[in-house]
């Protein structure tokens, strides 16, 4: 079995009396998109900074592409690319000029920098806009140019910090396609995101962090199954009955509750899929609650977060 491209064991990082990382482990195989998710302060960005050699750990060890992040930092940097939340391209230059400039900064000859720029414009679907100034690019085109600029040297590993922050849904989907294409070509991607639908759609592997440690990991489907996998939604006609419906569901379903008052809806995790729908429907009827709809469904990543961390998805950040 081949060694993981990204590996961490027992990573610790302390800031004063606070441990941002407290024994964090990670193993990511080649060609995988791995998402780091967790509540605010979970330690996600600290992991990125250590793996990209921007910060030294206080304990534990980590390797990137087989190189130790502390003892072989230069070799690690030669094998990685990184995109933060802020764009690094020049608005005044064209797409082609930006990429050629990055090529020169990486010590390519002028001819090789131009050739590499043309290759990347093709790879990232920017040929039609190659001669336009970047200030005329859409948000999605700009982010793809950012991604292209980090691939001047074809790194084995790409670190992405909220890669679609600020993009509209169409541009977000375009960026997802670009990231998937990189993984299919063999690049290993580690990303942070505060968009749970992004993690669900994009990540092959998700590592859920809290308190500086991994508390769960697996594919999106595996994580959903780990929390029971099923939820029941009840929509009431009269919002005044929502608190009573919550009490009924807490007793009948037995799982953790989520309320969406604006939608007259309450949701509960269920342990017994076979009987949940019948039990809840009967209990609501016996309590005199007028339910407009009762639906059984699979869990979402939002609900995985709620069950495993005790915090709502809105509290999840990638910083």
Query: Is residue 23 located within the same domain as residue 132?
Result: yes
Contacts of 273 (CB under 8 A, 6+ apart): 229, 230, 296
Q: Report how far apart, in Å, the C-alpha atoms of 44 and of each of 208, 252, 289 are.
A: 9, 37, 43
Residues 256 and 217 grouped into a single domain: no
Distance between CA atoms of residues 293 and 281, nearest Å: 10
Q: What is the pLDDT of residue 227?
A: 66
> Is 314 inside a domain boundary?
no
The pLDDT, as a whole number, for residue 319 is 35
pLDDT in tens, the chain (319 residues): 578 999 999 999 999 989 999 999 999 999 999 999 887 788 988 999 999 999 999 999 999 999 999 999 999 999 999 888 778 899 999 999 999 999 999 899 999 999 999 999 998 889 999 999 999 999 889 989 998 998 898 889 999 988 887 778 887 888 888 888 888 889 999 998 877 778 888 899 999 998 899 999 999 888 877 766 688 889 998 888 988 998 888 888 766 777 776 778 888 878 777 788 888 898 999 999 999 898 888 777 777 777 777 665 554 443 3
**280: in domain:** yes
* Phi, psi values for residue 186, rounded to 5°: 110, -5
Q: What is the CATH number of the domain that holds 118?
A: 3.40.50.300
- Are 101 and 35 in the same domain? yes
Instruction: Answer yes or no: do 42 and 180 share one domain.
Output: yes
Domain limit, last residue, from 198, 224, 250: 224
pTM: 0.76
Q: Which long-range contacts (CB under 8 A, 24 or more apart) does 65-72 make?
A: 65/5, 65/156, 65/157, 66/3, 66/5
Q: Domain residues for 286?
A: 230-298
- Cα 171 from chain centre: 16
| Alpha-carbon span 102 to 221, nearest angstrom | 39
Question: Do 276 and 251 share a structural domain?
Answer: yes
Same structural domain, 122 and 255: no
- Same domain (yes/no): 277, 219: no
Residue matched to tokens 């998710």: 37
Residues 216 and 119 in one domain: yes
Among 207, 224, 241, the domain-final residue is 224
Residue identified by tokens 């950040």 is: 317
Asked if 80 and 104 sit in the same domain, the reply is yes
Q: What is the tally of structural domains in the chain?
A: 2
């Amino acid at each position: 079995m081949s060694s993981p491209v990204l590996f961490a064991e027992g990573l610790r990082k302390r800031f004063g009396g606070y441990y941002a990382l407290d024994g964090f482990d990670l193993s990511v195989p080649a060609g995988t998109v791995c998402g780091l998710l967790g509540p605010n302060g979970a330690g996600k960005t600290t992991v990125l900074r250590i793996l990209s050699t921007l910060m030294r750990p206080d304990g534990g060890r980590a390797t990137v592409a087989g190189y130790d992040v502390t003892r072989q930092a230069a070799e690690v940097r030669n094998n990685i690319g990184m995109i933060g939340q802020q764009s690094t391209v020049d608005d005044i230059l064209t797409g082609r000029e930006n990429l050629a400039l990055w090529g020169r900064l990486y010590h390519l000859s002028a001819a090789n920098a131009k050739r590499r720029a043309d290759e990347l414009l093709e790879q990232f679907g920017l040929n039609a806009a190659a001669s336009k100034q970047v200030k005329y690019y859409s948000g999605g085109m700009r982010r793809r140019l950012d991604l292209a600029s980090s691939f001047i040297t074809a790194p084995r590993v790409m670190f992405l910090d909220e890669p679609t922050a600020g993009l509209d849904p169409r541009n977000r989907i375009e960026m997802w396609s670009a990231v998937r294409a990189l993984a299919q070509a063999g690049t290993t991607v580690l990303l942070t995101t505060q968009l749970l639908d992004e993690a669900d759609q994009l990540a092959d592997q998700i590592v859920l962090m809290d308190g500086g440690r991994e508390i769960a990991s697996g594919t999106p489907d595996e994580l959903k199954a780990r929390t029971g996998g099923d939820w029941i939604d009840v929509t009431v006609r009269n919002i005044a009955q929502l608190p009573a419906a919550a009490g009924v569901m807490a007793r009948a379903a037995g799982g953790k509750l989520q309320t969406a008052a604006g939608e007259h809806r309450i949701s509960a995790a269920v342990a017994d899929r076979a009987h949940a729908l019948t039990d809840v429907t009967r209990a609501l009827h016996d309590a005199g609650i007028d339910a407009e709809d009762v639906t059984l469904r699979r869990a979402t990543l939002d609900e995985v977060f709620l069950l495993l961390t005790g915090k709502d998805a809105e509290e999840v950040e990638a910083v």
